[in-house]
Amino acid sequence: MTQETFGRGAGFSASHVSAVESGTRALTMDFIRGADRAFSNGGLFERMASKLGAPSWFLPWLDAERAATQLRYFEPNLIPGILQTENYARAVMRLNDLMSTAEVDRQVGARIARHKILTEDVPPQLVAVLDETALHRGGEDFPGIMAEQIVHLTAMAELPHVHVHVIPAAAGLHIGLSGPFALARLSQGGWVGHLENQLGGLVVDDEQEIAALQARWENVRNEALPRRQSIELMKEAYSHHGPE
């Protein structure tokens, strides 16, 4: 069954089906019900989803991010995806030389689409912590891209519901260097975590794992500068990338 044929039966476009299959669009209960319709299987997939019930199976990070009332991101090497400019996101995607231009375009579009939650009538509170080295990781291959990114990051940090904190290079070694992670607090009160690795990402909701991530969050947050000092450090970094 082609994506177009399946989509007609499920009530979704072929591009939507493709995005779900590739993991750039969340697998939702509406899509699962659509799959039941397409296969005329009497609601089998919906019953399976209800029986399993674990958020880590049927609540991917994109769903958690959209439904969150609070978001926490830590990034030791890059600007967090939800705060990236289109040019910065494209430059990062192009580092994977196995990804086609069409795939890069699709991935970048999906990443930028995530930004919508920050301009909604009732946006989530977003707190991001990043390492100072991420502000300087541009290089000669990306002229102007880092400057544009820092301008955008600084503008976002001025919003009342967005807090960006920078861990200064002088902090030296800290526990966050083990890798990036994110936390989302859902409207029901529970937390969902997300861990990134070289092959993708892992959504976690186990109570002990969430507690461990929250402890790490407190550690990296304590290493970071206050909000105003962080903005000043970002502006200082811009002077190294911006026009002379």
- In 3D space, the residue among 173, 149, 177 whose CA is nearest the CA of residue 234 turns out to be 149
List the helix and strand counts (H, then E) for the chain: 12, 6
Compute CA distances 61 → 127, 168, 209, whole Å.
17, 28, 15
Q: Max Cα separation, the chain?
A: 66
Q: With respect to CATH, is domain 61-241 assigned 1.10.3470? A: no
User: Are the CB atoms for 69 and 186 separated by under 8 Å?
Assistant: yes
Residues 92-119: what's their mean pLDDT? 89
Domain boundaries, the chain: 3-52, 61-241
**Cα dihedral 118, 122, 127, 128 in deg (nearest 10):** -10
Q: How confident is the model at residue 136 (pLDDT cuts 50, 70, 90)?
A: confident
User: Tokens standing for 47?
Assistant: 């019953």
- Higher pLDDT pick, 243 / 146: 146
pTM, two decimals, is 0.74
Each residue's pLDDT tens digit, 5-25: 999 999 999 988 987 787 555
pLDDT at 47: 81
